[in-house]
Amino acid sequence: MTKNILILESSPRKKGNTAVLAGQAAEALRAGGVEVETIHLHGMEIAPCNHCDGCIRKKQYCVIEDEMQTIYPKLAAADGVILASPIYWFNINAQLKTCIDRWYGLWQNEHAFFKGKPAGVIFVYGDSDLYTSGGINAISTFETMFRFLGAELAGFVYGTTNDVGDAEKDEALMERARKLGEKMAGMVG
């Protein structure tokens, strides 16, 4: 049975640096025999979690009827995930954070939905430093979250990209994204 990795990519720029790096990882995954679906979160109607606990009372992923309903079954069925985001104001952007907040209902109904599955992270920032950009906050967030979920952290790919096209000019950054895809293909293979 073919394994599948879900990529949640959240940049407003569909062909920006975040998307390019996610695409590089996706190519490596496909070359490793893994099916890949990329969901571009920006522009999707995903409301924030209301913490109404309707997910618990009704035993469903969430009671909010929006586009998150199409993502839940894909998250639950995925053999692994890559999360890709630009860094905005010292952490991941709102598009990805809102999606992740809505995992609450999924977790309430299936505690082990990521247990033992590989998780990768890709992010870019417009600063030259991991700390002053806030990228370090994203690392801390994802390390903590994936530890809580019992996922196997496959790795982080991150770097400075100020202008569209910068990722493609950075051979080392592109290679790290490719290596992340290769590693994850090996983890699910």
Instruction: Determine which helix (DSSP H) or strand (DSSP E) holds 150, and give its type and residue range.
Output: none
* 4 pLDDT tier (thresholds 50, 70, 90): very high
Contact by Cβ (8 Å): 142, 153: yes
Handedness of CA 24, 169, 14, 82 (dihedral sign): positive
Q: Give the Cα separation of 1 and 51 in Å (integer).
A: 37
Close Cβ partners of 65 (under 8 Å, ≥ 6 residues apart): none
Q: Model confidence at 152, in pLDDT bands (50, 70, 90)?
A: very high
DSSP-assigned beta bridge partners for residue 5: 36, 80
Q: What's the pLDDT at 87?
A: 97
Distance CA 189, CA 79 (A): 10
What are the pLDDT digits (tens) for 6-56? 999 999 999 999 999 999 999 999 999 999 999 999 999 999 999 999 999
Distance of CA 131 to the CA centre of its chain: 21
Average pLDDT on 180-185 reads: 98
What is the rounded distance in angstroms from the CA atom of residue 57 to the CA atom of residue 36? 33
Q: So what's the pLDDT on residue 189?
A: 82
Determine phi and psi for 127, rounding to 5 degrees: -115, 165
Tell me the pLDDT tens digit for each residue of 73-98: 999 999 999 999 999 999 999 999 99
Domain ranges of the chain: 4-188
Of 71, 80, 162, 67, the C-alpha closest to 121 is 80
Query: Average pLDDT of 163-177?
Result: 97
Other C-beta atoms closer than 10 Å to the C-beta of 9 total 25
Q: How far apart are CA 135 and CA 122, in angstroms?
A: 10
Place of tokens 């994203």: 138
Report the CATH fold assignment for 4-188.
Answer: Rossmann fold (3.40.50)
For residue 99, what pLDDT band results from cuts at 50, 70 and 90? very high
Residues 4/37, Cβ–Cβ less than 8 Å: yes
Structure tokens at 172: 């080392």
Amino acid 96: pLDDT: 98
The predicted structure's pLDDT at residue 11 = 97
The answer on pLDDT for 60 being more than 90 is yes
Q: What is the mean pLDDT of the chain?
A: 97
pLDDT confidence of 176, banded at 50, 70, 90?
very high
pLDDT of residue 1: 82
Query: pTM of the prediction?
Result: 0.97
Give the burial class of 129: count Cβ atoms within 10 A of its Cβ; 0-12 exposed, 13-18 middle, 19 or more buried: exposed
The closest of 24, 8, 6 to 159, measured between CA atoms, is 24
